[in-house]
Chains A and B, each alone.
Chain A
Amino acid sequence: MERKIVGIVSGKGGVGKTSLTASLASLAQMDMKTQVIVMDCDVDAPNLAIILPALNEANIKKEDTYATRKAKFLEDQCINCKKCIDDHFCEFNALKWDDQNLIPIIDFLKCEGCGSCKVLCPEHAFEINTVKSGEIVSYKSKMGFPLIYGKTQLGSTTSGKLVSDVKEYLNDSKEFNNSNLILIDGPPGIGCPVIATVSNLDYVITISEPTPSGLHDLIRVIEVIQHFGIPFGLIINKSDLKSPFLEEFKAFITDTGYKKLGDIPFDLSIPKAMSYAEPVVQFAPDSKASIAIRNIYENLKKILWNSHY
């Protein structure tokens, strides 16, 4: 079967992306027809590894990434002319003036490493260096499939670039060549890391919950997915939530005609499974949630490989 890369996003956070990814990974692993690789691109808060841990410590590979650039001030070169401040070298307001020492101070958090100060300073009192932006961790999981995730360095400003690096990692190793399904747990939101996650995917799964915020954020993330022209399907989590908003939410989905992959009813098996750090389809295979997720997995396969499956 042709290789398919599938991302799971939601807009709103905390609606079940990671739990769903872990369960789909587990089902794909048990499925004789799929060879799965799992990735966590929620590089700000990567949690998938808790549910899908490594087979053993020895096979965990870690690699630092240096996608972030930051300016460095070279005091020896500075003639205290204050041009950097007066001529507003930095559009990110990362340069402040130290009135006591008559030198600029770089705000590390605000600095984007664009190089403006380096190029514009007549005394060459700035340089640009790459700094650690995070790490990429990869291993063979207990379940048997490879898992790859990224984790940002706190204070680095380039989550989106790290997401791209994690996705690139797939092409780096021959051991990944014979997989035919790549599942990517995405970040919340609609910004840079989400754009980096969904670009070039074959399919996107959106998961949401029937609350006003859930719907609002779903609509926004769909706008991004549609901007990139990627096919997608919806999942409603906690689909029987006692929400006065439930009917409105369902009507929206029906009216838009968006493809639905399935509903997952509210089921305490999900948080319970999580507290034991297991995918729910393994922890409670007969639960309402597990039945629903197996159904979603079958629907997904039909969409990805319709005639060939």
Chain B
Amino acid sequence: MNHKNPKIICITGGKGGTGKTLCAVNLAVMFKNEGNKVLLIDGDVENPNTYLLLNGKLENKKDVPFFKPKIIEDKCSKCGLCSQNCLSNALLHVKDAFPIPMLTLCSGCQLCYKICPENAIEADSKTIGWIYSTNVNGLSLLLGELKPSEARSAAIVEALLEKIEDIIEKEPNKFDIIILDTAPGAHCDVELLIADADIVIPITEPTKFGKLDLIRIMELIKLLGKESRVIVNRSSLLGFREQFLNELKRESIEILGDIPLDSDIVESYCQGTPIMEKNSKFNREGVGYIAFTKIYDNLKKWLEIPT
């Protein structure tokens, strides 16, 4: 491929369980099969599942630290300035007592640490999750994981984005393609990843829920000024394919392709061998296999990559 920076493709969808990870993994595998250097990013940090679909191992675990205010009682004058300025109400202060940090409410803004006139607050840290990097059959995988019971998932996504930025800056030719897999929903974790991408592929399914959530995520994609084309997964469900595709067309939503129900896909999903992997045992005439091949061709045309 002769474009300079890696192309960043974001896979998202609004509704959960529509096949985001399935598509992200198989698109990554198809790009890799053709000799591209591919980095797959699992940005669904609440529930990162890409490695399960690839039968990969989580390796090179790195902590993601998060700011934690530590009160140095010897220095603290109990003035309460930190508490007054904390809009998250994460520092409890009663008159003539030391402030008490309420860590679950803390946004990590560090304002308390910066403004304490006595330097009585130290910037300590706690681990709120991890980033793993690994290589599965020639595919590079970077995965973020939020520690259960921690709330600040966006900080893990930010850590992933910093890592991508770092890679692109230091080794701009290390990867040809970067694929981002997002969480369901339209919250900050998803926004951050869409905002970082060149193009966006929302995955939906031909149900009322699928359509409603798709329209919502399309609004967000538009708000962020990104180009998008949709994949309709399970398109043969209950015979709604034509009707659903027409409805999307009426909403002026562009379609990259559709994937019918396919038992090979279910099996590959459960076994952790991507259906599109070069030497997979799956039938090359199967409906799922053919659908992915078509989608991949359309994607390359969209990216103006010669086939």
For B76-91 the 0/1 string (1 means CB < 8 A from A) is 0000000001011000
Assess the B149–A224 pair: CB atoms within 8 A. yes
Assess the B220–A13 pair: CB atoms within 8 A. no
Assess the B185–A44 pair: CB atoms within 8 A. yes
Residues of A contacting B159 in the complex (Cβ-Cβ under 8 angstroms)? none
Instruction: Give CA–CA (A272, B208) in the complex, Å.
Output: 11
The answer to the question of A188 belonging to the interface, with a C-beta cut-off of 8 Å to chain B, is yes
Assess the B238–A268 pair: CB atoms within 8 A. yes
The answer to the question of B60 belonging to the interface, with a C-beta cut-off of 8 Å to chain A, is no
Assess the A92–B109 pair: CB atoms within 8 A. yes
Instruction: Give CA–CA (A119, B109) in the complex, Å.
Output: 12
Assess the B17–A12 pair: CB atoms within 8 A. yes
In this complex, the member of A119, A193, A224, A245 whose beta carbon has the largest number of chain B beta carbons within 10 angstroms is: A119
Instruction: Give CA–CA (A212, B271) in the complex, Å.
Output: 8
The answer to the question of A150 belonging to the interface, with a C-beta cut-off of 8 Å to chain B, is no
Residues of A contacting B212 in the complex (Cβ-Cβ under 8 angstroms)? 45, 47, 50
Assess the B146–A191 pair: CB atoms within 8 A. yes
CB-contact partner of B53 in A50, A213, A220, under 8 A: A213
Residues of B contacting A47 in the complex (Cβ-Cβ under 8 angstroms)? 15, 208-209, 212-213
Residues of A contacting B272 in the complex (Cβ-Cβ under 8 angstroms)? 212
How many Cβ-Cβ contacts under 8 Å join chain A to chain B? Answer: 179
CB-contact partner of B146 in A44, A159, A190, A212, under 8 A: A190
The answer to the question of B115 belonging to the interface, with a C-beta cut-off of 8 Å to chain A, is yes
In chain B, what residue has the closest Cβ to A213? B49
Instruction: Give CA–CA (A187, B220) in the complex, Å.
Output: 18
Assess the A192–B152 pair: CB atoms within 8 A. yes
Residues of A contacting B15 in the complex (Cβ-Cβ under 8 angstroms)? 13-14, 45, 47
The answer to the question of A257 belonging to the interface, with a C-beta cut-off of 8 Å to chain B, is no
Assess the B219–A154 pair: CB atoms within 8 A. yes
The answer to the question of B163 belonging to the interface, with a C-beta cut-off of 8 Å to chain A, is no
Instruction: Give CA–CA (A187, B18) in the complex, Å.
Output: 15
Assess the A192–B85 pair: CB atoms within 8 A. no
CB-contact partner of A211 in B88, B238, B269, under 8 A: B269
Assess the A114–B109 pair: CB atoms within 8 A. yes
In chain A, what residue has the closest Cβ to B155? A92
Report, as a range, how many residues of chain A touch the other chain.
Answer: 35 or more
The answer to the question of B191 belonging to the interface, with a C-beta cut-off of 8 Å to chain A, is yes
The answer to the question of A174 belonging to the interface, with a C-beta cut-off of 8 Å to chain B, is no
Assess the A195–B151 pair: CB atoms within 8 A. yes
Chain B 26-71 interface residues, beta-carbon cutoff 8 Å to A: 44-47, 49, 52-53, 67
Check A188/B184 contact, CB under 8 A, given A50-B209, A155-B220.
Answer: yes
Chain B residues with a Cβ closer than 8 Å to the other chain, count: 63
Assess the A216–B47 pair: CB atoms within 8 A. yes
Instruction: Give CA–CA (A11, B148) in the complex, Å.
Output: 11
Check A116/B109 contact, CB under 8 A, given A45-B186, A212-B272, A275-B238.
Answer: yes
CB-contact partner of A217 in B49, B85, B109, B115, under 8 A: B49
Assess the B17–A13 pair: CB atoms within 8 A. yes
CB-contact partner of A14 in B109, B184, B271, under 8 A: B184
Check A192/B209 contact, CB under 8 A, given A212-B270, A223-B148.
Answer: no
In this complex, the member of B67, B187, B238, B271 whose beta carbon has the largest number of chain A beta carbons within 10 angstroms is: B187
The dominant DSSP class at the A interface is: loop
The answer to the question of B240 belonging to the interface, with a C-beta cut-off of 8 Å to chain A, is yes
Instruction: Give CA–CA (A35, B13) in the complex, Å.
Output: 36
The answer to the question of A160 belonging to the interface, with a C-beta cut-off of 8 Å to chain B, is yes
Instruction: Give CA–CA (A159, B209) in the complex, Å.
Output: 19
Assess the B186–A44 pair: CB atoms within 8 A. yes
The answer to the question of B153 belonging to the interface, with a C-beta cut-off of 8 Å to chain A, is yes
Instruction: Give CA–CA (A193, B16) in the complex, Å.
Output: 15
The answer to the question of A308 belonging to the interface, with a C-beta cut-off of 8 Å to chain B, is no
Instruction: Give CA–CA (A220, B18) in the complex, Å.
Output: 20
Assess the B114–A14 pair: CB atoms within 8 A. no
The answer to the question of A123 belonging to the interface, with a C-beta cut-off of 8 Å to chain B, is no
Residues of A contacting B168 in the complex (Cβ-Cβ under 8 angstroms)? none
The answer to the question of B167 belonging to the interface, with a C-beta cut-off of 8 Å to chain A, is no
The answer to the question of B21 belonging to the interface, with a C-beta cut-off of 8 Å to chain A, is yes
Instruction: Give CA–CA (A249, B138) in the complex, Å.
Output: 29
Chain B 152-167 interface residues, beta-carbon cutoff 8 Å to A: 152-154, 158
The answer to the question of A271 belonging to the interface, with a C-beta cut-off of 8 Å to chain B, is yes
CB-contact partner of A191 in B108, B153, B220, under 8 A: B153
Instruction: Give CA–CA (A13, B46) in the complex, Å.
Output: 11
Assess the B185–A113 pair: CB atoms within 8 A. no
Q: A192-B152, A275-B238 are in contact. List 19 more A-B contacts (CB 8 A).
A: A14-B17, A14-B18, A45-B14, A45-B16, A47-B209, A114-B107, A114-B109, A115-B87, A119-B85, A157-B154, A188-B16, A188-B185, A211-B270, A212-B53, A213-B47, A213-B53, A220-B148, A244-B271, A271-B207
Q: Closest 10 interchain pairs by CB?
A: A13-B16, A14-B17, A44-B185, A114-B109, A189-B46, A223-B148, A13-B184, A227-B149, A191-B153, A192-B151
What are 26 A-B contacts defined by CB distance under 8 Å?
A13-B184, A44-B184, A44-B185, A44-B186, A45-B216, A50-B212, A69-B87, A109-B192, A114-B87, A114-B109, A115-B85, A115-B109, A119-B111, A120-B114, A152-B187, A188-B183, A192-B152, A213-B52, A213-B53, A216-B47, A220-B47, A220-B148, A227-B148, A243-B270, A271-B237, A272-B238
Q: Which A residues fall within an 8 A CB radius of B?
A: 11-15, 18, 42, 44-45, 47, 50, 69, 91-93, 109-110, 112-116, 119-120, 128, 152, 154-155, 157, 159-160, 187-195, 211-213, 216-217, 220-221, 223-224, 227, 241-245, 268, 271-272, 274-275, 277
